[in-house]
Homo-oligomer: A and B are copies of this chain.
Amino acid sequence: MLSPSTTPVRQSSVRAHNLALVLHTVANGANHPSRAAIAAATGLTRATVSALVDDLVAGGLLVEVDPPPRTGAGRPAAGLALTSTGPAGLGCEINVDYLAACVVDLTGAVRQRFAEHADQRPADPAHALAALGRLAARARLAAEADGLIVAGAALAVPGLVGDGGLVRVAPNLGWQDVDAVAALRAVPELADLPITVDNEANLAALGELRVSGGDPAFLYVSGEVGIGAGLVIGGELYRGVRGWSGEIGHVTVYPDGRECRCGSRGCLEQYAGQEALADDVPRAAAALGIALSAVVNLLDVPVIVLGGAYAPIFAALRDGIETELRRRVLTAGLAPVTLRPAALGADAAMRGAADTIIRGVREDPAAWLRARA
């Protein structure tokens, strides 16, 4: 069955779906599958796959490459691969001490990367975003000189993002109601791009999803100055109704505990934020364990990935967290919760941002072909 929705479906939707299916199979399947292998993997006929592949090759999304090693008799296959000269995503990140932009191609490879280290807190938002825009523009031009076509840009910010890319609050940057999309679009070299803005932890979770490959459901916890989380379920990011999910840093751990900047008491951030972390690792681990137990009890998430400042000290945190999980997760006895460090380092959010763009092309190649026609 197709997804329940309120829009009609016609033959062109079938084509769009199956184009995405073929592209997905090439991207996530074995090395350089043949048309016949794609047909076998998807259940489509070889005739249909051939027609779909023709469209994707003509549209510059797939290329024929050397076939996989032969096995037995028969006409040799033509291998298919994602192109490395087609659409690409521009990922940007602004953080407390860090500006960065990168370009990722359809295969997921990072083709350009520019970063600038500097404390952004004294700068006003307009200046910081202008500097980031210049960085992004350089990345875009360098990528396009390489034959890539930047299909869009996404920006990761450590804060709450509202509709239209409006940054409602970014406490650690001192921002409030900043129109980041407009600021980036003001850079001439970026003016023609679709630009989106999203929370840093959400995008880092997507970055982790891309590189880790395996887990279709996990919680990514990002320990920075603040603590954010990105929830991936069924291979997709869950953003919440208004896009404000994942604020694990302000989950109450000790109801009458330390005062928090947010006005509450006993927030996780006060015990496991970057500052508290320096003081008392065991207590941070316990606090994390308590908050994560709540997540697992509520959402039944089987895997937790620790990123940001937590990744390098994963070994020191592990025991303390797991002790609390064992004690406090109701289903701990039925199935364990897996804890692991993040695979990507500081670039996770930026990589995830770029990934949202290429993800868009991969999930709806028909739209890309139409636009390129």
A residues contacting B by CB (< 8 A) are 1-11, 13-14, 16-18, 20-21, 24, 42-44, 160, 162, 168-169, 217, 229, 231, 233, 238-248, 250-255, 262-265, 267, 290-291, 293-295, 297-302, 327-331, 334-335, 363-364, 366-367
Contact = CB atoms under 8 A, between A and B. Distances in A.
A14 B10 contact: yes
A363 B2 CA distance: 10
Given A1-B364, A7-B43, A330 B247 contact: yes
Given A9-B18, A238-B299, 4 more contacts: A239-B300, A242-B334, A294-B294, A294-B298
Most B CB within 10 A of own CB, among A229, A242, A291, A328:
A328
Contact of A1 (B16, B241, B267): B16
Contacts of A253: 255
A363 B14 contact: no
Contact of A295 (B42, B244, B246, B298): B298
Contacts of A262: 330
B13 A250 contact: no
Contact of A241 (B44, B301, B367): B301
Contact of A8 (B3, B18, B238, B264): B18
Nearest to A49: B8
Nearest to A327: B264
B302 A242 contact: yes
14 contacts: A1-B364, A2-B13, A3-B5, A4-B24, A9-B14, A9-B17, A9-B21, A11-B14, A14-B14, A240-B301, A242-B302, A244-B334, A247-B300, A247-B331
Given A6-B21, A160-B334, A334-B168, A229 B298 contact: yes
Given A9-B17, A9-B18, A302-B242, A247 B2 contact: no
A167 B97 CA distance: 51
Most B CB within 10 A of own CB, among A160, A293, A299:
A299
Nearest to A43: B8
Contact of A246 (B250, B264, B298, B327): B298
B6 A3 contact: no
B8 A11 contact: no
Contacts of A244: 300, 330-331, 334
A71 B217 CA distance: 52
Contacts of A331: 160, 242, 244, 247
Contacts of A263: 327
Contacts of A290: 252, 255
Most B CB within 10 A of own CB, among A241, A334, A366:
A241
B294 A241 contact: no
Smallest CB-CB A-B distances: 4 pairs: A240-B300, A3-B3, A2-B17, A245-B300
A36 to B, nearest CB: 15
Contacts of A330: 160, 244, 247, 250, 262
B1 A13 contact: yes
A294 to B, nearest CB: 5
